[in-house]
Structure 1
């Protein structure tokens, strides 16, 4: 009888303790660029975890917004966690002082299981010994090819090995042949992964040659509103090839075995896809508990056949689920040993916003005019044979050259050199309201250039 009474008292005490601890439940607000299938899987798994129970977290509210809206949203709304969207996005938040350093022992211990660097690329943003973001997953960058579409077009898809191949005359001629583009890219203002790929190209080929290649890639391609739309277009056979982050390539292959992902040797990097705590969090300890889960038990989410991402914490491959995904383990091993290029992350940050807006103004907003100039040039030389090779090359150089424009602040004639991009990037950080002035100037300069090429073809 005494034993039963003691047991009952103990049960009441434990229950009272739990009740007191969780007298107020927490709903975490997580700002994310991850697709819905990842977020729903994470919510279900996390809310059943020990982390959620210990920190009284009863729900997660996911907010999915385009990258440009994040700083405003964090400043004007309570946001506990930012998760997914690539280092480009998180470094933008870091530079704007919108990220809070990780502080709890639980989260710091979880972060310690993620390497500081991988293949020479940082997986954490550390300042003064404090971690402001840490990679939750890792990726490489390349393109995904639909081999069935290539065969239908009579094109040897194995020739697509480098970024330069996506800006080739050959792909332009295929576009002429079928009447629509056979390749796809995404607007960098709507895709952080595509932004990183354009930065890779600018460093792999150099600023001047890189912009020439980006211009030809855009001229050869259909421009999509986001990176997932490019993946889906390849998967569904709408285009033959599209630039993608690696896990989009793995997913495309899972759903359509005709799809093959290619990481250009020496022209790709490993990228960490971060998670961080924001300065507007109302639940810092609960937020760091979610971060700790994402970096440990939550790494299993990436191994789902519907997600197919590479985890940032390699310990997950020691679990039963991890051992069952030998395909992803091999991909992880390949990335750690891959021939990556030397990528200057600091330099990319110095011109990033200006680069994205210049790309948008000159290659996206005027895409129809650019593509018209390119197809007319290809037709005049390769099909109608009414211009010489020398004239074709001259006009191609003109098409891919930097347009001149009047600086909206000084009135001076400028071109988009790397020094100018860095200067404008720095200026716009403090004067974002002037962005449209610069974009209008760049857009008008490009318009004049494209019309000049069309006029010269006759």
Structure 2
């Protein structure tokens, strides 16, 4: 019995001396920062648990023990959910200007320690082989010559992609943003299940271009076939860290946060091409200063609005794009063919592929968003709103094929009869 108790004590002590970081980033994005941390006298052995945002939230919510000590992610959605469940410990964060990048409702529980930016990872070799110039912005990804060459991730699977899409909707406007997304969807070859999966597929010649966070792209740029292009006038993406309220290693976790905000920790962020820039402004003669200052000058999005309508945006993306991707691809192929035949754009028919069943007023209405969030927490095909959306898209797809048929443009019968059924 005494031996058993001793072994249990030693097991507990060993666990308590290991710092576990749960992160939505790939392993490569944190390797160097952790290796520098290990040189500090107060460091302890550290490992990462790499999960999706949803999986990490489920792990932290379900585990009665301290399976994770620190949470590291660029997703304010994840941290908001964890804070609402009382899973974030208070952190000692400096009252420094750099912490302005933490959304107001998260301050005191979350610290920002670096910034990144959004753009497109481009497989230049792939595009050169097709004789196509690389896109410069979101509109460029709607070029019909890129049909089958673009890759995205769904916001219901990737908080990084959710932030990109919400930024697009806020910058371009609700209707215009969705119109552009639906046009880009016609060029999608597939949807990735993970945000860094977008970068991996572009690298593997499975796509020519995909929107990604720079930290996912920069670790791949040793490949001469790849290049990364920042979106102009988009938004900055801070990287956040917080302490699990269940952690038995809070002292070590706080020490790790102090390290990240220290001069050496900030310096480590710029020593390898991770795409993470220090949050403390660099001197003007630093090689990373110009890019960092550019990112820090970008205005943040309205994170409060993003949190309030997260269920709406995720469900609408899935109903409008994910669940009917094959129909969108066929619809745009047929429409582009018709426009090429007659020599001009067909705006009325384009609207059949780009209109959405939710108005901008609804997307801003607190009562609608609250009731929508309650109704769709358990996603169900019996949900009347979602069925209405499905019928909405199905009807417009049929109207498109009817109009194209009258113009003498052939479409696949399977697409016509099966549109909107997925």
- If the length of structure 2 is used for normalisation, what is the TM-score? 0.79
CA RMSD of aligned residues (A): 3.1
- Structure 2 counterpart SS, 1:450: helix
Structure 2: distance between partners of 1:229 and 1:127: 30
Name the structure 2 match of 1:217.
Answer: 184
How far did residue 212 of structure 1 move?
0.6
Contact residue 113 and residue 241 of structure 2 kept, 8 A: yes
Name the structure 2 match of 1:256.
Answer: 223
Matched, 1:227 2:210: no
Matched, 1:395 2:338: no
How does 1:300-311 map onto structure 2 within 5 Å? 300-305=267-272, 307-311=274-278
Question: Which structure is higher in helix share?
Answer: 1
How far did residue 101 of structure 1 move?
2.2
How does 1:152-163 map onto structure 2 within 5 Å? 152-157=129-134, 160-163=135-138
Partner of residue 419 from structure 1, selected from 362, 384, 399: 362
Partner of residue 24 from structure 2, selected from 22, 29, 33: 33
Structure with greater Cα Rg: 1
How far did residue 246 of structure 1 move?
2.3
How does 1:123-202 map onto structure 2 within 5 Å? 123-127=101-105, 131-157=108-134, 160-167=135-142, 171-175=143-147, 181-202=148-169
- Structure 1 counterpart SS, 2:207: coil
The alpha-carbon distance between structure 1 residues 298 and 152, as it changes in their structure 2 partners (threshold 3 A), is same
Residues 135-183 of structure 1, C-alpha deviation per residue, up to 9 Å, x if partnerless?
Answer: 22201212233333333322233xx33322222xxx22342xxxxx122
Stretch deviating more after TM superposition (232-241 or 436-445): 436-445
Number of aligned residues: 384
Contact residue 88 and residue 196 of structure 1 kept, 8 A: no
How far did residue 61 of structure 1 move?
4.6
Residues 288-334 of structure 1, C-alpha deviation per residue, up to 9 Å, x if partnerless?
Answer: 1222223334334433435242122346x79xxxx9xx543332133
The alpha-carbon distance between structure 1 residues 70 and 251, as it changes in their structure 2 partners (threshold 3 A), is closer
Structure 1: distance between partners of 2:105 and 2:354: 39
Name the structure 1 match of 2:76.
Answer: 87
How does 1:9-158 map onto structure 2 within 5 Å? 25-52=16-43, 57=44, 59-77=45-63, 78=66, 79-103=68-92, 108=93, 111-112=94-95, 115-117=98-100, 123-127=101-105, 131-157=108-134
How far did residue 393 of structure 1 move?
1.9
Structure 2: distance between partners of 1:30 and 1:342: 26
Residues 352-385 of structure 1, C-alpha deviation per residue, up to 9 Å, x if partnerless?
Answer: 2321222123211221111111112112331xx2
Structure 2: distance between partners of 1:307 and 1:76: 32
The alpha-carbon distance between structure 1 residues 269 and 70, as it changes in their structure 2 partners (threshold 3 A), is same
Unaligned runs of 5+ in 2: 1-12, 406-422
